[in-house]
Structure 1
């Protein structure tokens, strides 16, 4: 898939919440819009989700779809568990740890087995989803989940597109990823310090 196709896909995914909202009532509208905006509203979520896209594109092959799919699936599961009333201590700590870990993965730039990366990504995504579920709309849970799934998919696509754009400058692509990884890790450490 080239950059143009990925951009088109991201645009289509971005319209899904709007299309879903066009046929529903007020509570559902609030739920889907709120869910869609949630990944963009917290720096920890935003940075982690873009980093997952960058890592998926860097690893390539099956990781290109397995990593985002694992993240979204585990995130939805985490949100469902939150809606059941489950108590999950250290959720915010795990989210900040995910930001630091994803940044470190970009810095190291090692060829880690895809299965290990997918498992780690899913484990961290569960906590992101749990936080979404705790903070989500009780009035329209399906719309809210659909919204944050679409928002997350867009952030993953942005990360993938950014990595592919960097490949045009092969001499600096690895160094650029390490710089981005350092920034991502710095955001995680900074947010942990402020927490």
Structure 2
């Protein structure tokens, strides 16, 4: 079952970044990035990945019309481009949040060629190739939080124009990271 909904815009136009908070029913399973077990809290009580300010998706050419997908123990927010011409590259970015611990997500079979990286101010993360559907394979970056794990995945959706998938992914993560609860 898929539930589709909308999120309100939280962009106030200010340049200061403030992290959203998951609801008070979320269990903190470790300090930032060190959750070592699956969070027993309901996954729908976690931070809403569609709550990013609209300036974040717009900065990488994505429409500000995200689609929410909920699949226990995950919540996803899916953004996509709307190219001007048929040859323009088309891609999507999906932001996911889960109650699963970071090490558990790194072992997810959807990821291959998993390697270490960092996000934010040297916060440990992974970058990996993402199994493709439709137009092809993508890439993903994931990092642990005190309540579970956040992932950001990108994939081509069509068009023939090239784009640097890793650069796009890293730019989006860099812009989104300050708004994600630690």
Shorter-chain TM-score: what band? Answer: under 0.3
- Report the TM-score when normalising by structure 2: 0.27
- Report the TM-score when normalising by structure 1: 0.26
Higher relative contact order structure (alpha carbons within 8 Å, sequence separation ≥ 6): 1
Determine which structure has more spread, i.e. the larger CA radius of gyration.
1
Normalized per residue, which structure has more strand?
A: 2
